[in-house]
Amino acid sequence: MLLSSEDESQQVIQMEANSLSSTDINHEHQGIESSLSAEFTNLEMNHLNTCKVKKKNASNNVPVSFGIPTIYKQFANELLLHNSTTGRFLQNCVCVLLSPEINRCIECSIFSNINKSMKYDNDTIDNIQCRFYAFRELEIKSKKLTIAGFPDPFKNATKLDFDLWKPGKVLFTPSDFKIRASIKILENIGGQLCKVIQDEKEALKLNWSETQNNKMPIWKKLLKGVREMCDPCKTTIFNYHWSCLTCGFVVCIDCVRNELGANKSTTQGVNFNQDNPAWYLCSNNEIHKFDQLNITQIMAGDSLDYISTLMHNECIKHQIPLKCKCSYRIPKMEFPPINCSQFETKIPENMIEEIFPEDSECKDTLFSCYEDIVNKHFDEIEYNYKKESLPKLTKMIDTNNFSSPPHRWLCNGLILNLLEPHMQENYGLFQEQWMRGQPVLVSGVGKGLIKSLWNPESFSRDFGDQINDLIDCSTNTVIHDQPMSTFWEGFENDSKRLRNINGHSMLLKLKDWPQSEDFAEILPDRFKNLMDCLPLKEYTHRNGKFNLASYLPECFLRPDLGPKMYTAYGNAGTTDKLLGTTNLHLDMSDAINVMVHVAITKECSDYRTEWYVKKAFEIIEDNECDEVSKKRVFVNGEIPGAIWHIYHAKDSNYIRDLLHRINIDKGVFREEGSDPIHDQSHYLDKNIRDRLYKEYGIRGYTIIQCAGDAVFIPAGAPHQVRNLHNCIKVAEDFVSPENIHQSFRMTQEFRNLTENHTNHEDKLQLKNIAFHAVKDSISVLMHTQQYNII
């Protein structure tokens, strides 16, 4: 029986007549499809053709089968009509429209329990993200709809399915640049992907329990625009995971491993954490047990092993050192002797003398200690395995022997400042710094900006009527539902700013705008102008060869990497030294932040414009800025917009430890799932920065960002920002080969945050990005005939 109630019988019968079957089982059911074709009516064929040409954002204008939520409608073009009396077919509607005898998924169970008396129409069904849609197989037996099983990753996958996961054909001989980019990608992320693949293989071992009830993997085909996520940790599912075939609950490899524990001798009957609300009960109100879940894969067939084999073979063939420790038999390769100078950090010649006077005992003690550390651990370092070690401080890079772009060195020789943003020669110097995990400043980006597009008047004119939330930086409180014109009118003019209960003007910030819309769609002119001006486009553009996110196929739900605007009033005049525009935090991806507009506050009843300029100068003097940076402002007259403090990614745990100690001294104790960096609850003032250096030996990079400057921030690098004057900044995220290992580390950190934390959900899909970047790089090398560049 197909009906859930008499009232819905006609709708369900019509839905069944229009039901769809997957093209992924074409080869298994060719005979069935032949009989179906003869039974198609003209109306059905017209409906099928309509579905096949349907565009992504036009679902409201296209007739689709009743019962398909909007999120899945774009997948309808991959399904075929089926005859409801013969054969197996993929479930093509939400569970609530099926007979009560058919198990409902979690989403449908929750929806039906909340809306027991609701009539189901397309509007209500749009709110359901059914877990079994296009996943579970159904069939008709004795005129009743029954569950037939789930697809097989080998038998039911078509050539098109396999093509998504294997190297594609290259129609033209790859350019030297593409070859170099492919080699760089394999060198930097091949080892990381190899580790991911080894973890996937270990997951298969967990599936083979000591009982004879071993389950073969079932297949959950990737749906266009749908991201599979682990229910407990909200991390994107890469390939192998475990599914409950009763309710659709899914759990990733890491969560299973954590629950089973390293010392578990058996997996039989293990209950998952029943006290954690993220570990949902089954729809039958039972606790999920590991041996009752079925291992599931997203990739077609053995695509994972296939890519792993190709990757290792291509790296051997082209002598690409792959930084992995797998058991794959790699012939011994001859490497040139290690040149220690390539790992040196370059600083000015007189820096040591400036730091340590001639009579300083600290100098000898420091270098003696450093030599002991190096000598103790040097023999343990393996060539093909990356270990973190302290870089040696030496003189600044000698650029006399090769052609280099215009540049200078900030922070006493530690920060590269490129001066001509669009020179091709910038890549060499940039990559040398970037691979060390150090930030980079690029000046002159503002030369190409169209000023009329980026001033507050233009934003107020174009978007002043939009309603948005604002943040008062002085209290971190949210001011809800404000017209954006309110923010923009007070951007430069203090007399027009919102006031707090004490009558003082608020220090407002407009964060992450636009929040959900694509910058390119709602600000097309500004987007084009920004893209034209961005430096190092192979990193910063959406389709850049060194932006690994560009390799993610169109069928995946693309991560939102911006651009986003970060706009806030200046706070140079505040007396609160702990007040930052953006508190200390770190990001999973790399980023470029461009200062597109700076304005000094005017029309203030208490202070003149000159007072704000003076206060900004005082902050610069008080923030360990180097002489070259100060000269830009004090001598050259450049307008300082913001002051940044950026730390190396490997310093984050030391910073975290200090902040924990500071909180304990204040009687604030750490809550489970919280983190002083990820919570963005601290701004490191001079006292805290001095303690960090004195107690841990850590000193960050202090950067003054002037109008037209672009700051590159590496993934995982803790950083904070204080606006000196009123600033409009635009930031774009990207994923670089040099720092993807930090992004992977951040993914694991974010998993441990509370479920409602803003950083808890994995939106980057790093494993998918790494896989497809390697896959496409393999494709380039496989189709290249000459390799004279290695």
Per-residue pLDDT, averaged over 285-298, amounts to: 88
Q: How far apart are CA 180 and CA 530, in angstroms?
A: 27
What is the rounded CA–CA span in Å between residue 624 and residue 13? 74
pLDDT, greater one: 643 or 3: 643
Q: What is the structure's pLDDT at 172?
A: 76
359, 343 contact by CB (below 8 A): no
What percent of the chain has a predicted confidence (pLDDT) above 90?
45
Across 78-101, average pLDDT: 68
Helices (H), 298-355: 303-317, 351-355
Please state which of the ranges 60-69, 125-134, 298-307, 603-612 shows the lowest mean pLDDT. 60-69
Closest CA to 484 of 507, 465, 508, 498: 465
pTM of the predicted structure, to 2 decimals: 0.79
Comparing CA positions, the residue from 697, 599, 683, 682 lying closest to residue 648 is 697
- 725 neighbors 597 (Cβ within 8 angstroms): no
CA distance 622 to 620: 5
Instruction: Look up residue 350 and give its amino acid.
Output: N
Asked if pLDDT for residue 745 goes beyond 50, the answer is yes
Q: What is the pLDDT of residue 785?
A: 54
Please compute the mean of the pLDDT values over residues 712-723 and round it to a whole number.
Answer: 96
Evaluate the CA torsion angle 564, 568, 572, 574 in order and state its sign.
negative
Q: Provide the pLDDT for residue 44.
A: 28
- % of the chain with per-residue pLDDT over 70: 72
Residue 704 has pLDDT above 80, yes or no: yes
Could you tell me which residues come within 8 angstroms of residue 366 by beta carbon, excluding any fewer than 6 positions away? 356
Q: Write down the mean pLDDT value for the chain.
A: 78
Instruction: Write out the two tokens for 24.
Output: 């992924």
Contact 87, 29 (CB under 8 A): yes
Instruction: Give residue 342's pLDDT band: very low, low, confident or very high (50, 70, 90).
Output: very low
Predicted pLDDT at 368: 47
Residue 649 confidence (pLDDT):
95
Residue 345, H or E segment: strand 345-347
Least confident of 8-12, 344-348, 587-591: 8-12
Number of residues that this document lists for the chain? 790
pLDDT for position 256 = 87
Average pLDDT over residues 412-432: 95
Beta-carbon contacts of 104 under 8 Å, excluding residues fewer than 6 positions away, are 95, 96, 98, 112, 247, 283
Q: In angstroms, rounded to a whole number, what is the distance separating the alpha carbons of residues 733 and 590?
A: 6
Structure tokens at 372: 């002991």
Q: Between 673 and 165, name the one with better pLDDT.
A: 165
Whole-number pLDDT of residue 751: 78
Higher pLDDT, 756 or 642: 642
Cα 680 from chain centre: 18
**b/e map 307-341, b = 16+ CB within 10 Å:** bbebbbebbeebebebbbeeebeeeeeeeeeeeee
* pLDDT at residue 163 tops 90: yes
**Res. 752: pLDDT tops 70:** yes
Q: Which carries the bigger pLDDT value, residue 596 or residue 100?
A: 596
Indicate the domain borders of the chain.
6-149, 440-752
Q: What is the pLDDT of residue 26?
A: 31
Q: Which sign, positive or negative, has the C-alpha torsion 638, 643, 649, 651?
A: positive
Cα atoms in the Cβ-side hemisphere of radius 13 Å centred on 295: 21
pLDDT tens for residues 756-771?
Answer: 555 545 678 999 999 9
Q: Which of 74, 84, 96, 98 is nearest to 32 (CA)?
A: 84
Q: Residue 541: is its pLDDT beyond 70?
A: yes
Secondary structure of 615-641 as H, E, C letters: HHHHHHHCCCCCHHHHHHHHCCCCCEE
Report residue 500 as tokens.
Answer: 């707090």
Show the tokens assigned to 712.
């590159």
Of 31-45, 290-304, 449-463, the least confident: 31-45
Residue 525 CB: number of other CB atoms within 10 A?
11
- The listed CATH number (3.40.710.10, 2.60.120.650, 1.10.760.10, 3.40.50.1000) that belongs to domain 440-752: 2.60.120.650
Q: Which residue has the tokens 């980023």?
A: 591
> Quick one: pLDDT at residue 373?
40
Alpha-carbon distances, residue 169 vs 151, 172, 173, 455, 776 (angstroms): 28, 9, 11, 46, 10
CA angle 669, 675, 681 (to 5 degrees): 85
Kindly indicate the confidence band of residue 283, based on its pLDDT and cuts at 50, 70 and 90: confident
Kindly report, residue by residue over 222-273, the tens digit of the pLDDT: 988 888 999 888 889 999 999 999 999 999 998 888 877 744 544 555 555 5
Label each residue of 47-79 as H, E or C: HHHHHHCCCCCCHHHCCCCCCCCHHHHCCHHHE
d(CA 434, CA 663): 33
The CA R_g of the chain, rounded to the nearest whole Å, is 29
113, HSE (Cβ side, Cα atoms, 13 Å): 9
The Cα 62–Cα 65 span in angstroms is: 10
Section 698-726 average pLDDT: 96
